[in-house]
C-alpha cells in the first residue's frame, strides 16, 4: 500500500524492521489502568469518552466515536478532498481498513447552517476521523482530519487524546507521524500537543508534477505525560 501522505513507517520500529519476526507486545502499565475503565475493551474503539477532557461543546453535540467502514468511504472522501490539496483516495482508506488499522470517525450534531453536507442516517455529521497503524510498541498516525466547517473547535486535540489513550492501552510507548513542512496548522497542533520534531524526510510528499515536499517527522512519548496543554 502506498499512501500519498504517509509512508508505512516514519521510522523503523525499535528492535528491527516490520519485515522481521513478530515480537510479543510488551505489557505497558497503562494497559491495566485502561482495562478498568468503564466501557473499555482493550483494542476496541470507541475510547471511553468520560475519561477524556472533552471540548466544551462535546455534550451539546452528542459526539461519539464510530469505527470507519467501507460504507462510510463516500462521506470520508468528501471531507478528505475538501480538507487537503493532496487527499488520500478512497483506495487508501480501503487498504487501511483491509489491513485492520484502527480507523475511527468522530461524529456529532452540527449547528444550523454550519455544515454544507447532509447529515448521516443517524442525524449526526462527520466531524473528523483518524487512521493509525500499530507497531511493536508504537503507533503511527497516518491520517488526522477535521471537517473544515468544524475546525478550531478542539476536535483534533480530542481525537489525539483518544488516540493516545487507545495507544497506551495497546502498550504503545510512543506516537509517530509525518506532516508536510508547509502544513503550519497541523505542525502547530502537534507541537502544542507535545509532539517534538525528530527528523525530516526530504522530498517525501508529492507537491506538483515536478516538485516534492519534505516531511517533518514528529514523535510523542506516551510513557510520561500525555502532552495535552
Ligand atoms: C490540522 C487540523 C487537524 C486541526 O484540527 P482542529 O480540530 O481545527 O484543531 P483543534 O481545534 O483541536 O486545535 C488545537 C490546536 O491546534 C492549533 N491549530 C489548529 N488549527 C490551527 C490553525 N489553522 N492555525 C494555527 N494553529 C492551529 C492551535 O494551537 C489549536 O489550539 P487553539 O485553538 O487553542 O489555538 C485541521 O486543520 C485539519 O483537518 N486540517 C486539514 C488536514 C490536515 O492537515 N491534517 C493533518 C495532517 S498531518
Ligand 1: which of 3, 125, 151, 192 to mutate, most ligand atoms within 8 Å of CB?
151
- The ranges assigned to domains in the chain are 29-221
Q: Which atom of ligand 1 is the closest one to the Cα of 141?
A: 48
CATH of 29-221, one of 3.90.550.10, 3.40.50.2300, 3.30.2450.30, 3.40.630.30: 3.40.630.30
**pLDDT of 49:** 65
**pLDDT of 45:** 61
**pLDDT of 213:** 96
Single pTM value for the model: 0.83
Up-side HSE of residue 48: CA atoms within 13 Å toward CB? 13
Nearest to 39 by CA among 28, 30, 51: 51
Ligand 1: which of 10, 79, 143, 185 to mutate, most ligand atoms within 8 Å of CB?
185
Residues 6+ apart with CB under 8 A from 175: 138, 139, 140, 141, 163, 164, 167, 195, 219, 220, 222
**pLDDT of 53:** 77
**pLDDT of 46:** 56
**pLDDT of 139:** 94
Cα–ligand 1 centroid distance for 26 (angstroms): 33
pLDDT string in tens for the chain (229-residue length)? 444 444 433 322 223 333 333 333 333 333 344 344 333 444 556 555 667 777 777 767 888 888 899 999 999 999 999 999 999 999 999 999 999 888 999 998 888 888 888 888 888 999 999 999 988 899 999 999 999 999 999 999 999 998 998 888 888 999 999 999 999 999 999 999 999 999 999 999 999 999 999 999 999 999 874 444 4
Residues 6+ apart with CB under 8 A from 137: 13, 14, 25, 26, 28, 171, 172, 173, 174
Amino acid at each position: 500500500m502506498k499512501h500519498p501522505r504517509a509512508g508505512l513507517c516514519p521510522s523503523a520500529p525499535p528492535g528491527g524492521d516490520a519485515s522481521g519476526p513478530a515480537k510479543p507486545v510488551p505489557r505497558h502499565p497503562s494497559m491495566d489502568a485502561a482495562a478498568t475503565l468503564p466501557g473499555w475493551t482493550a483494542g476496541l474503539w470507541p475510547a471511553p469518552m468520560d475519561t477524556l477532557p472533552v471540548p466544551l461543546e462535546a455534550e451539546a453535540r452528542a459526539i461519539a466515536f464510530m469505527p470507519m467502514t467501507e460504507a462510510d468511504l463516500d462521506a470520508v472522501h468528501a471531507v478528505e478532498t475538501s480538507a487537503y490539496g493532496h487527499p488520500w483516495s478512497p483506495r487508501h482508506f480501503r487498504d487501511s481498513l483491509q489491513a485492520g488499522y484502527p480507523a475511527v470517525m468522530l461524529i456529532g450534531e452540527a449547528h444550523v447552517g454550519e455544515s454544507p453536507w447532509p447529515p448521516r442516517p443517524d442525524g449526526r455529521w462527520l466531524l473528523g476521523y483518524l487512521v493509525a497503524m500499530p507497531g511493536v510498541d508504537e503507533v503511527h498516525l497516518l491520517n488526522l482530519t477535521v471537517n473544515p466547517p468544524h475546525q478550531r473547535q478542539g476536535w483534533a486535540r480530542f481525537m489525539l487524546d483518544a488516540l493516545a489513550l487507545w495507544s497506551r492501552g495497546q502498550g504503545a510507548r510512543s506516537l509517530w507521524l509525518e506532516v508536510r513542512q508547509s502544513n503550519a496548522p497541523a505542525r502547530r497542533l502537534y507541537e502544542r500537543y507535545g509532539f517534538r520534531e525528530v527528523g525530516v524526510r526530504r522530498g517525501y510528499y508529492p507537491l506538483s508534477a515536478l516538485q516534492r515536499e519534505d516531511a517533518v517527522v514528529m514523535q510523542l512519548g506516551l510513557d510520561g505525560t500525555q502532552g495535552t496543554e
